[in-house]
Chain A
Amino acid sequence: MKLNDDKIRELSIQAIEELGPNASHDAVKKLVEEKIRNPEGIPEGVIQENSGRVILTSFGLNAPGVVSSISTALSDAKCDILDISQKIMQEFFTMIMMIDITNSPKDIKDLQEIMKNIAEKLKVKIYLQHEDVFRFMHRI
């Protein structure tokens, strides 16, 4: 959860109210820290940070080395490949990977840049999208 001054002020006021006469300097500090770790009263509509699962989709003319180039780049970036599936229809191939980027030092934007270079080199299309978009669109 991202915090700004207003939010911290709001949490402090809440803490003082909850503690009542016991609101010593240290007690308030402790309670505020607790509230930050375990956020309550987040403004309506604000949702929690999502998981680090990303769907990578690649398609184009079948060429040797596509899967290996992509997976090498992913392993260099310390991304965990959770699932992989591919189809080849005549000369066209499609590959979909589910990857976890939680432990990667790179964020989705960096990975998109890396994949853009690979896509240009191999003349295929590569898309990286956060898992949520598929979950929202295809699961009730």
Chain B
Amino acid sequence: MPYEFDEILETIKMTEIEHFDIRTVTMGISLRDCADRNIAITTQKIYEKILRYGGNHVKNAREVERQYGISIANKRVSVTPISIIGDAFHAEDFLKIAETLDKAATEIGIDYIAGYSALVQKGFTNGERELLKSIPEALSKTQKVCSSVNVASTKAGINMDAVNLMSQIIKEVAEKTAAGDSVGCAKLVVFCNAVEDNPFVAGAFHGVTEPEVVLNVGISGPGVVLDAIKSSGGVDFQSLSEVIKKTVFKITRAGELVGRKVAAKNNIPFGIVDISLAPTPAEGDSIADILTAMGLEDVGAPGTTAALAMLNDAVKKAGLMASSSVGGMSGAFIPVSEDAGMIRAVERGNLSLEKLEAMTAVCSVGLDMIAVPGNTPAETIAGILADEFAIGMLNDKTTAVRIIPAVGKKVGDYVDYGGLLGRAPIMPVRELSSKSFVLRGGKIPAPIRSLTN
């Protein structure tokens, strides 16, 4: 037998007991050739192109799932930022594009379609303003469309006008989807240093430097890392790092295999494997549980940031050894609503917004799936966004905010979406005002890259 008994059983244990799965296979499709000055022709071209490339995406992914016994949680499509292909359009035209994307996504059976996006870190074009204006309506009228807006970067600084606009839009999206616990906000991400090959929604889009069509894969697997750490006992940090690396190496390899196979079946090039550890609401498939298994009483205890930094670093080192096509976000995700351990820590009052913010300085991706009281002012949300993007801008990394000011909810209440989006307790937000600061407007200049203390 070319494989050891234990190796085979280890793989089966990972997939059957420890929730190892592939979080997503995301097909990136360029829509740049779909631009036309007539909106009806544009939407028709978009629809046809998505069906042409993505028509068999779900079927092919299912076949690969069966072949390797590794389940693929989500099948997704990302497209060129819609603001780029529709720069001459008005908000109502963009809305038609959103509806077209939703229709195409439903037709081919994928879970999400992402790329209702704009990149405005240095300023707006007229089309980008129109797209932003259409976001609340678009997210309330569609099911599968995800939107993201990049408002800051290390090279451009933070566009505070865009931050203020986005905080208004987040509030509007929450209002428009109030009946569904403001679920629209779960499909809207605001970015600093957004990456072009990210397979994870809601922030995925098919960047302008990407090829015509490409297949990117995002791994999951906190449950596997958790069990490896638990069974390693009280070893020192170097040994712990080894344990994490060995495990992540294996799941990255499996992720790349699945990605390459799905790409080959679709007859399109393989792009990247995103080695982010993405939790799910399933018990044990949790980043928070990893941190407590490392020895913390709960997430939020002093030492949490160090533990997460070490985890994230070990994940990257192993992933880079395992694959030469690492890209996307590639870190550990700490979405609150999607991680049972994080939810518990918030419920117990151990994890605050401020501690989460500190944690995002050492991992991808940012303040993710945070529910806050519905009466949180837009200016306060703008302040939270600005803080998060300052971390990303200064540290040359991606940071993002996916915040849900849940209409009519207060601390102690919950928003509940089910599925991968999970449920989130409403977290308290400091009631100090940021208004006079954020409403200055303009841009926070790009940072200096030397004297980096």
A positions within 8 Å CB-CB of B = 2, 4, 7, 43-47, 55, 57, 83, 85, 87, 94, 96, 98, 108-109, 112, 127-130, 132-138
Which chain A residue shows the least CB distance to B214? Answer: A45
A2 to B206, CA, bound (A): 26
A7 in contact with B253 (CB, 8 Å): no
A127 in contact with B250 (CB, 8 Å): no
A76 to B268, CA, bound (A): 37
Task: Using A98-B1, A133-B257, A138-B250 as known contacts, say yes or no to A2 and B66 having CB atoms under 8 A apart.
Answer: no
A128 in contact with B69 (CB, 8 Å): yes
What are the 6 closest A-B residue pairs judged by CB atoms, nearest first? A45-B270, A129-B69, A136-B253, A133-B68, A45-B269, A137-B250
A30 to B378, CA, bound (A): 68
Interface majority SS on B: helix, strand, loop or mixed?
helix
B68 in contact with A98 (CB, 8 Å): no
B3 in contact with A133 (CB, 8 Å): no
Which residues 268-303 in B have Cβ within 8 Å of A in the complex? Answer: 268-271
Interface majority SS on A: helix, strand, loop or mixed?
mixed
Task: Using A57-B12, A134-B3 as known contacts, say yes or no to A108 and B67 having CB atoms under 8 A apart.
Answer: yes
User: Which of A46, A127, A130, A135 has the most C-beta atoms of chain B within 10 angstroms of its own C-beta?
Assistant: A46
Of the candidate stretches B148-156, B258-266, B338-346, the one touching chain A is B258-266
* A136 contacts across to B, CB distance below 8 A: 253-254, 256-257
B431 contacts the other chain (CB 8 A): no
B437 contacts the other chain (CB 8 A): no
> What are 23 residue pairs bridging A and B, where the CB atoms are less than 8 Å apart in the complex?
A2-B265, A4-B267, A45-B264, A45-B270, A46-B263, A47-B260, A47-B261, A55-B8, A83-B1, A94-B9, A96-B1, A96-B8, A108-B66, A109-B66, A129-B67, A129-B69, A130-B68, A133-B69, A133-B70, A134-B7, A134-B8, A136-B253, A137-B11
B257 in contact with A132 (CB, 8 Å): yes
Task: Report which of B5, B7, B269 forms a contact with A94, defined as CB distance below 8 A.
Answer: B5
Which chain B residue shows the least CB distance to A56? Answer: B8
Which chain A residue shows the least CB distance to B250? Answer: A137
Task: Report which of B16, B66, B250, B264 forms a contact with A47, defined as CB distance below 8 A.
Answer: B264
Tally of chain B residues near chain A (CB < 8 A): 36
A61 CB, min distance to chain B CBs, angstroms: 17
* B270 contacts across to A, CB distance below 8 A: 44-46
B267 in contact with A2 (CB, 8 Å): yes
* B267 contacts across to A, CB distance below 8 A: 2, 4, 7, 43, 46
* A46 contacts across to B, CB distance below 8 A: 260, 263-264, 267-270
A137 in contact with B253 (CB, 8 Å): yes
A134 to B325, CA, bound (A): 20
Which chain B residue shows the least CB distance to A2? Answer: B267
A96 to B7, CA, bound (A): 11
Which chain B residue shows the least CB distance to A137? Answer: B250
* B260 contacts across to A, CB distance below 8 A: 45-47
A46 to B260, CA, bound (A): 7
0/1 interface trace, chain B 5-36, chain A, CB 8 Å (1 if under):
10111111000100000000000000000000
B11 in contact with A44 (CB, 8 Å): no
* A134 contacts across to B, CB distance below 8 A: 3, 7-8, 11
User: Which of B10, B69, B256, B270 has the most C-beta atoms of chain A within 10 angstroms of its own C-beta?
Assistant: B69
B1 in contact with A85 (CB, 8 Å): yes
A134 to B250, CA, bound (A): 9
B2 in contact with A129 (CB, 8 Å): no
* A132 contacts across to B, CB distance below 8 A: 68, 257
B11 CB, min distance to chain A CBs, angstroms: 6
B68 in contact with A138 (CB, 8 Å): no
A92 CB, min distance to chain B CBs, angstroms: 12
* B68 contacts across to A, CB distance below 8 A: 129-130, 132-133
Which chain A residue shows the least CB distance to B64? Answer: A130
A133 to B251, CA, bound (A): 10
